[in-house]
Amino acid sequence: MAKAKKKIRKTIRIGGQVIQMYFSSAEDAAEWYADQLRKKQRMKAGLDEAVTENLITVADWSKILMRKRAGGQVVKGTWQNDGHRFRDYINPLAGHRLLQSMKAPEWEKVLDEIQSDPRKVVSMRLSGVQSDEERTTLEKKIKRHKTSLSNTTRNLVRALLHTMYEEAIREKIAFMNPISQVEVKDQGDPEEKVDFWESQNECKRYLAEHLDYAREIGNYSWYVWAMWSLGKGPRVGELLALSHADIDVLKSRVRIHKIYDPYDKAIVNRTKGSRRSKKGGRKRSSRWLYLNEPMLQAYKLLWETTPYKKQTDSLFLNSRTPRWNHINKQSNRLGLSGITRVHKLICKRAKVKVLRVHDLRHTFGAHFVMNGGSLRALADILGHSTTWVTERYGHLSESYLEKETDRVRFDIEITDNVTPIRAADTNDAGRDA
C-alpha cells in the first residue's frame, strides 16, 4: 500500500485573524503565502483589501513604498525629500493613474510639467486640504516655491520613480519599468559646481573672524562648527546631530553616525551614506573623523564655556548673549538657519567671497586633493559610498600640478643657436617615424 503524501501547512495572521491552509506541494504553498503576505502589507498600509495588483494606483503604491522604508511608520518627511516629492510633484499629476497603465511618454510629460511649473503642480494639492491651518501652510509653501526646477532636481524625481517601479517589479505589482526609457537630463559639468576658497589665507581669515565673534558673544558653537567643517568636511546635519558622547578626546576623534533632519527637527540615527541591506532594512553607517590640534583646541574652548556638559547634551547651542543659564537646550539647538545667518556675517567681516554653507565641505575636499591626498581617502573622510561623487575633485590635482611646474626651475645661459620647436615640426616627425 502506497504511503500517503504528507500535506504542507501554512499559517499567517492578518488583522488579528489566523489563516491556516494545507497544500499538497511546496510550490502551491509558497504562492499562496506570498499572495497573503502582499494582502497583509496592503492592509497594513491602509489600502482597501479588495484592491488587486492590477488596480493599484501610483498614489497607493507610493504610500506603501514610503511606509515600507520607515518600517511600518508613516513618513511625514525624510531628509532625502522622497516623501515631499511624492506629495508635491508626482501624486498631484499622476497619483490617480494605475501604476501599470503609465507609459514612458506620459511620464516624460509629467516630468516636463513638474520642471517647468512646480508652483502650479503643488497648487493642485489645495483641493484636497481640509483644515484652514493646513491650507495656510501650503499657500505659504507655494508662494516661496521656485518658479522652475533645475535638471538635477528633475533627475532626482525621475530616480525616485525608477526606484518605485523597480520595487513594484520585485513585489510583482508591475511587470516593466517605463522610467528606464525616460531620458536623463544633462546636469552640466559637475566640476563647475564645486565652489571653494582657493587660498589658505581666505580660510584663515574666515576662521579668525569666527573666533573673534565667539569671544564677543561668549558662545563657541559657531567657531567649532566652522573649524570642523573646514578641517574635515562633514555635512552640516552630521555636525548638528553631535552630542558630547560622540567625542573621544583621548583619541582625538569624533564619531559620525547620525544626522539632523531639518524638516522634522529631529535626530535620525543614520547618515546619508547608509544603504539598504538585502533583507530590506537599513545598514547604519558610521565613520570616525580624527581631529588635529586646532580642531581639538576649538572643542576645549567650547567645553570650558558651556554649562551643558552631560553626555547627551548637544554640542551646538544657539545664544546671542554671554549668559547661558536661561537656555533650553532642546528648543535652542543650533539649526541650519542660524548657521547660515552667522556664516554670511562672518564672510562679510572677513572680506571673503560669500559661499554656500555646503561649500565649506567642498573647500576641504579641494585643499585635500591639492595637497596630494588621494580620492579614495577623501571618499572615506567625506562619507561618500562610492568614489564617483568624489571624482569631481580629481581635476583640481591636475590643474594644481600644472601651476606648480615652475616651482623648481634651473635656468642656465645657452649660447648655441637653437631653433624653436614648432607644433608642425613635431607632427612631421611623427609621420616620418
**Which DSSP state fits 227?**
H
What pLDDT is attached to residue 138? 82
Yes or no: say if 19 and 36 are a contact pair by the CB < 8 Å rule.
yes
Could you tell me whether strands 253-256 and 247-248 are parallel, antiparallel, or unpaired per DSSP bridges?
antiparallel
pLDDT averaged over every residue in the chain:
80
C-alpha 46 chain-centroid distance? 29
pLDDT of residue 50: 46
pLDDT at 190 over 90: no
Domain boundaries, the chain: 70-181, 200-273+284-403
pLDDT value of residue 74? 46
What CATH number is given for 200-273+284-403 in this structure? 1.10.443.10
Mean pLDDT of 72-80: 46
Asked if 49 contacts 43 with a C-beta cutoff of 8 angstroms, the reply is: yes
H or E element: which one contains 11?
strand 8-14
Best CA proximity match to 237, nearest among 336, 144, 105, 160: 336
Rounded Cα distance between 131 and 118, Å, is 23
Residue 307: CB atoms within 10 A of its CB come to 10
Q: Write the DSSP assignment of 123-171 as a string of letters.
A: HGGGGG--SHHHHHHHHHHHHTS-SS--HHHHHHHHHHHHHHHHHHHHT
Note the pLDDT tens digit of each residue in 385-400.
777 778 878 777 666 6
Grid coordinates in use for 3? 504511503
Q: What is the pLDDT of residues 27-53, one digit of tens each?
A: 888 888 877 887 776 666 555 554 555
C-alpha closest to that of 57 among 113, 107, 98, 105: 98
Q: Are 364 and 229 in contact (CB under 8 A)?
A: yes
Strands (E), 81-136: none
What pLDDT does 271 receive? Answer: 75
Q: Which residue has the higher pLDDT, 241 or 391?
A: 241
Using 50, 70 and 90 to split pLDDT, how confident is the model at 278? very low
Would the pLDDT of 276 be above 50?
Answer: no
In contact, 285 and 268? CB cutoff 8 Å:
no
pTM of the model: 0.60
Q: Which of 24-33, 100-109, 119-128, 415-424 has the lowest mean pLDDT?
A: 415-424
Radius of gyration of the chain (CA): 29
Q: Which fold, 70-181? A: DNA polymerase; domain 1 (1.10.150)
* Lowest-confidence region among 58-62, 68-72, 294-298, 348-352: 68-72
259 Cα distance to chain centroid: 10
User: What pLDDT does 429 receive?
Assistant: 47
Percent of the chain whose pLDDT exceeds 90:
29
